[in-house]
């Protein structure tokens, strides 16, 4: 079955389930806080609980691949299971892998996450454009062909990112603005929303760039990193309707109770919706 373009599927999910992405970040401290062992058994229990609680409720779930990969092949098996079960329950899955390379290697990364035959097939994946935006071409093309999405790092929430992302190129344009301009070109003419998004931190004092890319803007930093729903209009301006705020710890800390996880995510949906007039 051919999927509809990711941008259209995402727009529908945001409009019906609310503007929220919840990370699945099973790092050691969270496993301990849930009373789980820091091993594959704990990883599986954690992930299955999050999927049970939220995959039928929120628009997007975002597994952080690194926290599964640290357990080797058995951890990857849990990630495969998590992706499949989350998608089956109705959530869009954004794989937070931040892959970036060139040529056949980038193509292999793309096939891992964006090819329907792959055990890790996801609705979208995060990528790094800092080997040049053109290095992303295999991922962009495969995503377009398979109805998937790609989110490129643009202005991230970590303070170290500015030394690269705010750097000014020979044409007078910041590196981040160049990434955004390229994404806008990929999304040209797409309705109701393009499938190629940017990662722009909600913790920024100001964006200082043109965010009108006709695509989604993944906004990490809401919650534990200090940003709130009230910050979103200031950072994202007229593009705020296309923002996908991402929350991890401030929701996951309420586990392992399924009811508490659902209540926490619902509070964020309501807070974000109230600020955005939804």
pLDDT of 275: 92
In a domain, 118, yes or no: yes
Is the Cβ–Cβ distance between 201 and 157 less than 8 Å?
Answer: yes
Kindly indicate the confidence band of residue 205, based on its pLDDT and cuts at 50, 70 and 90.
confident
In a domain, 265, yes or no: yes
Is the Cβ–Cβ distance between 31 and 43 less than 8 Å?
Answer: yes
Is the Cβ–Cβ distance between 233 and 271 less than 8 Å?
Answer: no
- CATH number of the domain where residue 225 is located: 3.20.20.70
Residue 131 CA to residue 147 CA, distance in Å, equals 25
pLDDT of 276: 86
Residue 179 CA to residue 191 CA, distance in Å, equals 21
User: 159 or 6: whose pLDDT is higher?
Assistant: 6
Of 7-16, 152-161, 249-258, the poorest mean pLDDT is in 152-161
pLDDT of 227: 84
Kindly indicate the confidence band of residue 56, based on its pLDDT and cuts at 50, 70 and 90.
very high
How many structural domains is the chain composed of?
Answer: 1
Query: Is 98 noted as a catalytic residue in this protein?
Result: yes
Q: Which domain holds residue 104?
A: 6-273
Contacts of residue 247, Cβ cutoff 8 Å, sequence gap at least 6? 20, 21, 22, 23, 222, 223, 265, 268
| 3-class state of residue 170 by DSSP | coil
Kindly indicate the confidence band of residue 222, based on its pLDDT and cuts at 50, 70 and 90.
confident
In a domain, 122, yes or no: yes
Residue 277 has pLDDT above 90, yes or no: no
Q: What is the pLDDT of residues 98-135, one digit of tens each?
A: 999 999 999 999 999 999 999 999 999 999 999 999 99
In SS3 terms, 61-86 reads as: EEEEHHHHHCCCHHHHHHHHHHHHHH
In a domain, 1, yes or no: no
Tokens of 272: 């974000």
In a domain, 278, yes or no: no
Active-site entry in 45, 62, 98, 253: 98
């Amino acid at each position: 079955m051919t999927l509809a373009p990711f941008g259209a599927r995402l727009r529908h999910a945001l409009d019906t389930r609310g503007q929220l992405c919840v990370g699945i970040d099973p790092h050691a401290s969270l496993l301990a806080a849930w009373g789980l062992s820091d091993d594959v058994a704990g990883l599986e229990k954690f992930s299955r609980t999050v999927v049970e609680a939220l995959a039928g409720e929120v628009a997007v779930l975002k597994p952080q691949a690194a926290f599964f990969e640290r357990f080797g092949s058995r951890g990857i098996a849990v990630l495969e299971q998590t992706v499949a079960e989350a998608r089956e329950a109705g959530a869009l899955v954004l794989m937070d892998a931040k892959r970036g390379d060139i040529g056949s290697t980038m193509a292999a990364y793309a096939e891992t996450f964006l090819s329907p035959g792959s055990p890790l097939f996801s609705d979208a994946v995060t990528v790094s454009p800092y080997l040049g935006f053109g290095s992303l071409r295999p991922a962009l093309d495969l995503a377009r062909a398979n109805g998937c999405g790609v989110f490129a790092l643009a202005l991230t929430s970590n303070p170290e990112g500015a030394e690269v992302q705010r750097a000014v190129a020979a044409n007078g344009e910041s590196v981040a603005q160049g990434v955004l301009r390229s994404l806008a070109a990929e999304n040209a003419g797409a309705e109701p929303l393009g499938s190629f998004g940017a990662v722009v931190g909600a913790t920024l004092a100001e964006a200082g760039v043109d965010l009108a890319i006709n695509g989604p803007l993944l906004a990490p930093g809401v919650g534990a990193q200090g940003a709130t729903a009230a910050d979103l209009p200031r950072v994202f301006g007229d593009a705020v309707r296309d923002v996908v705020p991402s929350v991890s710890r401030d929701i996951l800390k309420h586990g392992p109770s399924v009811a508490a996880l659902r209540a926490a995510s619902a509070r964020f949906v309501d807070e974000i919706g109230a600020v955005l007039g939804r």
